[in-house]
Structure 1
Amino acid sequence: MYGAEEAVAAYAGTDSGQEVRLADGERVWAGLHRLDLSGTTARAYSAEPDGPARPGVPYGETDETGLGDHARRIGWIVRNSVPNVSTQQVARLIGKPDVDPRDATAAAQAAIWHFSDDVDLDTTSGANREDVVRLYQAFTDSRVNVGAGPAGPALEVTPRQLSGAAGLLIGAWDVFTSADRVDVTLRGAPEGTQLLDEEHQPVPGNQARAENGAYFFVRVPADAPAGEATLVAEGVAPLSVGQVFTATDPARPGQALVLAESVTGRMRSQAKVRWTAATAQPSAYVYLDCPRHQLRVFLRNRGAAPARMTVNGQPYLVAGLKEQLVRLPSPQAGRYRVQVAGPGGYARTFTDAVTCMTDTPSPLSRITTPAPHPAPTPSAMPVAALRHQSGGLARTGADTLPWLVGGGVALLVGGAVVAFLTRRRG
């Protein structure tokens, strides 16, 4: 349920309606009620036939789950009855040009009780007005009442409560609203607490202007003791037909009310932020680095508080949300053994065989390869030599020059190096 604990309205009495007789013979008043929304009056139908609340009882917006499995049927009734539509439109349901507004509201109210509380109207004794009975039958006929979708919240912060640890990110809270923007503030938090936006960036002054669909996180300082704060969203928002309001004070009960007309009112919704004192969350894993003949021990702390850890009895302090590397010499053969301990009873022993292979030079690696001799290029030979080899251009009268090119043969033989790198995690 959203917003039920935030009082944004007060019960202001009954409106149009009349007394009707139920199937069990009980006579009750059926019709519209009035809600005061910060100076704006909204009319609503009751979801319970228990009689109206006392004036001044505080109300807050909630979701439609309180209407039971027939919320869609109830939503259709309030959307197709007075005051959301005219009496002439309601009269079309029974083939008449118009109906008395009191008959329309009484019939709609009785039809809502039929779905919300399985309470039926007396339709046979003649105790109720004819138009009330006929409209009631139309409102409850599944061939006519095809159901309607939920109204959606005017303003909702969800979930209602989230918990975490000091120093860590807590969230996210979503803000849903029919308003263009609403104010979101963090209240009652210790100094240094941050309200963070979708990008995890601090919101200046822990106050934001949020659109529909925005979401937020909270981070409490790591040294803060256990506590709680409140995330509050406020703003003027349109309220739709079908939105549900319930009494917020258990000592002052009232019927659940379903809005029968669209209005604009000042809304408020809030959520609780709770946290425990920061703790350390140690973990470790070991990595066998054969080429360096090392054991690499990685100490991790996923908590916000510092973690005092030991590796084979040697102490180390790992800061909150950090990782620290410890290097140990690796034995050349046999097995290695690393013992890690930390806060909260953390203790792990890492042991495994050393599988590193010793590098040995290959016999082929001692074979030397002679460097090849490049063939001379024409541009590197003297012009006189060219003329001597060709017999002279003047004597032969030809443009061709014979070339003598020599080559060498090279033999390349390589060796191989094998390295094994073994990694162990824990």
Structure 2
Amino acid sequence: MFSAVHGPTARKRGALRLATATAVTGLVAAGAIAGAGTSFADDKPAASSSGVHATLKSASVTVGAKIDVNNHGKKTAPVGGLFELKVDNAGVIQTYCIDLNHETVDNASYKEVTWAESSLANKAEAAGKINWILDHSYPKVTPDQLSKAIGGKDLTKDTAAAATQAAIWHLSDDVEAVPQDAAAAELTTYLLAKAENKPEPKASLGFDKDAVSGRPGSQVGPLTVQTNAKKVALGIAPGAAAGVQLTDVNGKVITSAVNGTQVYFKVPKGTADGFAKVTASAQTTVPVGRAFVSDGEIQSQTFILASTSVVPVTAVATAKWADQGAAPAVSVKKDCVKGGLDVSVSNKGTKDFDVVVLGKKLTVPANSSQTVFVPVAEDAKYDFTIADQHFSGVLDCKTAGTGTPTPSSKPSPASAGGTSTGGSSTGTNGGTNLAETGSSSSTPMIAGAAVVLVLLGGGAVFFLRKKKTAGN
């Protein structure tokens, strides 16, 4: 999904369009993943999707106030505070920025991810302290309660949000951030002094892998359900072969699951080579502290969840089967610690599955699996297909560095479920917003890179596009 970008910034971001490339010297190793195996279907099964999907309602802060930021010698005064994400088919959740110098984009798509898949990947202690701050500050704690904690100083929703954002920026972006309001500045100091390392919250809903494979006449799996919901509904998406059922490890047909449930596909003997998708759905409260990254070709800054409500969550994964030959299933996870993708290939077929990774040939024997790491340049687009499974996205793992944010006016009032949650001042809405997020049109964009992966068996191409440097 592409996000709309309006006004002058749209022209600036035009320079950031991604270009297809076949090799980049010195930025990322170019190479290939290739496979020779069975083609399961003309209609390629999609990669798994999980958790919460949402849209940024506005590129402007909705509750907050100005913060003096010293970004490694570059001093600015952006408005910092809460943003609102509209959950698909549900209400609104509130987030703080953990990625100071990236832009925010109106209507940008977002998805829930682990810390390891975000800019918090290499900041375990900082991430834990941010999670503590979220649990002990606004909006989870009222301005009156926070005022008492710092000795009775008067705080509003706007100044409490600004204080919380400033404390988070200290940890997420390693900058000096001090709210212009005196009481808010005291709250920032208080939060940083008290913060402790708090564990990462559990996922709202997902599976442990994207796909599983096997042979007709057997149970194909397992996929393990990962959720904080009390109960998850399970079903097989339309289009699966007749007779395919979801079962537990003992072969009992199941229509629901809980955290840790192992799900199998029972595929009748004689079923033609093919695939089926399992859908999982639930209503749950997404835990405060979950990271949200932009889920589209146009990047928008990374957020962390500050307040939540009960929302619908979904997950999808694929089972594939083949009677003879290799039966590969591929799972891909973003690895922000190493800076790339972990590509796992499982082969439950009767023959070996040959894979060439960065020029080195690997063989995945029948009933075994291999995982390879594919380096991807920061901010680079990846888009590839392996064994009929398609994966795409942008590697957005790091904060943008030392940008030069432009000061802005105060934020506009916020509305969550029809109730005002912000101050009475107004600000700029619409389009991409640099001033209110601490980003800048002059922020250097890290040059992208390309890794070309030619699939010998599936005939698919993995390509990464190069994002051009902008703002220089």
- What is the TM-score with the length of structure 2 in the denominator? 0.52
Per mean C-alpha deviation after superposition, the further-off stretch among 271-280 and 131-140 is 271-280
Alignment partner, residue 59 of structure 1: 110
Structure number with the bigger relative contact order (C-alpha 8 A, sep ≥ 6) is: 2
Match runs of 1:230-241 below 5 Å: 230-241=277-288
Residue 12 of structure 1 pairs with residue 60 of structure 2: no
- Cα deviation for residue 112 of structure 1 reads 1.5
Alignment partner, residue 398 of structure 1: none
Change in 2 beyond 3 A, CA 1:7/1:43: closer
Q: Residue by residue, what CA displacement relative to the aligned partner does 1:58-82 show, whole Å, maximum 9, x if unpaired?
A: 2222223322312211111111111
- Any unmatched runs of 5+ in structure 2? 1-46, 327-347, 351-472
Residue 155 of structure 1 pairs with residue 155 of structure 2: no
- Cα deviation for residue 263 of structure 1 reads 0.6
CA–CA distance in structure 1, aligned partners of residues 289 and 309 of structure 2: 11
Change in 2 beyond 3 A, CA 1:103/1:3: farther
Q: Residue by residue, what CA displacement relative to the aligned partner does 1:209-261 show, whole Å, maximum 9, x if unpaired?
A: 22333221124455556544322211211223222222222x23222222212
**Is the 2:214–2:322 Cα contact (8 Å) retained in structure 1?**
yes
**Is the 2:236–2:279 Cα contact (8 Å) retained in structure 1?**
yes
Residue 98 of structure 1 pairs with residue 154 of structure 2: yes
- Cα deviation for residue 197 of structure 1 reads 1.7
CA–CA distance in structure 2, aligned partners of residues 178 and 148 of structure 1: 17
Residue 25 of structure 1 pairs with residue 81 of structure 2: no
Alignment partner, residue 308 of structure 2: 262
CA–CA distance in structure 2, aligned partners of residues 18 and 252 of structure 1: 27
Task: Give the secondary structure class of the aligned counterpart of 2:75.
Answer: coil
Alignment partner, residue 3 of structure 2: none
Cα RMSD of the aligned pairs, angstroms, is 3.1
Change in 2 beyond 3 A, CA 1:228/1:304: closer
Task: Give the secondary structure class of the aligned counterpart of 2:198.
Answer: coil
Residue 130 of structure 1 pairs with residue 182 of structure 2: yes
- Any unmatched runs of 5+ in structure 1? 281-302, 306-426
Residue 172 of structure 1 pairs with residue 222 of structure 2: yes
Alignment partner, residue 287 of structure 1: none
Q: Which amino acid aligns with 1:136?
A: T
Change in 2 beyond 3 A, CA 1:304/1:52: closer
- Cα deviation for residue 101 of structure 1 reads 2.1
**Is the 1:242–1:258 Cα contact (8 Å) retained in structure 2?**
yes
**Is the 1:44–1:261 Cα contact (8 Å) retained in structure 2?**
yes
Alignment partner, residue 253 of structure 1: 299
Task: Give the secondary structure class of the aligned counterpart of 1:173.
Answer: strand
Q: Which amino acid aligns with 1:161?
A: A
CA–CA distance in structure 2, aligned partners of residues 50 and 166 of structure 1: 51
Q: Residue by residue, what CA displacement relative to the aligned partner does 1:137-195 show, whole Å, maximum 9, x if unpaired?
A: 22222xx1113232212222222333344444332212233333222122243334332
Please state which structure has a larger fraction of its residues in helix: 1
Residue 115 of structure 1 pairs with residue 171 of structure 2: yes
Q: Which amino acid aligns with 2:233?
A: D
Q: Which amino acid aligns with 1:184?
A: L
Alignment partner, residue 360 of structure 1: none
**Count of residues in correspondence between the two structures:** 273
**Is the 1:240–1:263 Cα contact (8 Å) retained in structure 2?**
no
Alignment partner, residue 139 of structure 1: 191
- Cα deviation for residue 113 of structure 1 reads 2.1
CA–CA distance in structure 2, aligned partners of residues 230 and 197 of structure 1: 16
Task: Give the secondary structure class of the aligned counterpart of 1:20.
Answer: strand
